[in-house]
Structure 1
Amino acid sequence: MNYIKLLNAAFEKFFFDDRLNPTHISLYMALFQEWNSSRFADELYVNRRDLMRCAKIGSKSTYHRCITDLDSWLYLSYFPSNNPYKGSKIKMTIIGTSDEPDMGRYNPTLEQLAEHYHPIREPVVGQHHPKNGQVVDLHRPIGGQALVSNTNNIKQENYVKQPKG
């Protein structure tokens, strides 16, 4: 299993799923970490108290609501345990991680090809088209380094008008 591909696929699914709230995502991430720690085992046994602490959930009812929601929405399979020493069994769903692009979804490579083959199209505000034809978004970092706006950091100097004369 590729950790990054699985995590990116989960984040993409979160983006398009309006049923989720931050607590669902926090619980899923806590479960994902447990899954990663178990080397992406087919099934894992979890302790509710530990998951609640990791996900920053303070209420048992919130935990149970979120984990049953994640189960019913097919993010995982949840098998509750009545044995406090064993823990509940979880089977994490492997969210689509195919290398083939999903039809109907945003694909930056296809967008770049479209830009290359349709040069008449007006450039999008905030983008720059260098000589190599690749679109560069001026608001995104280029080498992994975050760009910080200096809009509010520039000191304005007051110029006093000299009387004409």
Structure 2
Amino acid sequence: MDRIETEASGGCQCGAVRYRVSAVLDTSHICHCRMCQKAAGNFFIALIGVPRDAVRWTRGAPATFASSDKAARGFCRDCGTPLTYDYHESKHINLTTGSFDDPTQFAPKYQFGLEAQMPWFAELSIPAEGTTEQTMAAYVDEIKATNHQHPDHDTKVWPDN
């Protein structure tokens, strides 16, 4: 595993938990295993390894659930956002790629847990639509007026009211 020096930040949906990383490992991956499906509440979870000395919690800290005797899952206790997979014996911790402010930096390089991958996932071909102001015009003003999601950057305080 190669260590890649970087500067990146992220956090949960509500902003109660924020972090900064100074390095990541070249381990960006998707895991389809049933435990990861349950932890993410989705078909898979996207994770990237971060050396323990390279992550700093800048606001709050994740709550944890011992998903096994060997590992714990970190999440925001306020909004429920999945944030970590921590295999206790590892020299690194995995952060959920989607919790980064710019997750496009960390394209998945591997897939694991293929035994639990949804059988139709590889051949998924259904109509697709973005969630832009054009496609969601009927809802945009209402969503903007009632948005409680933390922005994709660090803030001095949150909520900002």
TM-score normalised to the size of structure 2? 0.30
Q: Which structure shows the bigger proportion of residues in strand conformation?
A: 2
Task: Return the index of the structure with the highest Cα Rg.
Answer: 1
Q: Which structure shows the bigger proportion of residues in helix conformation?
A: 1
Higher relative contact order (CA 8 A, sep 6+): 2
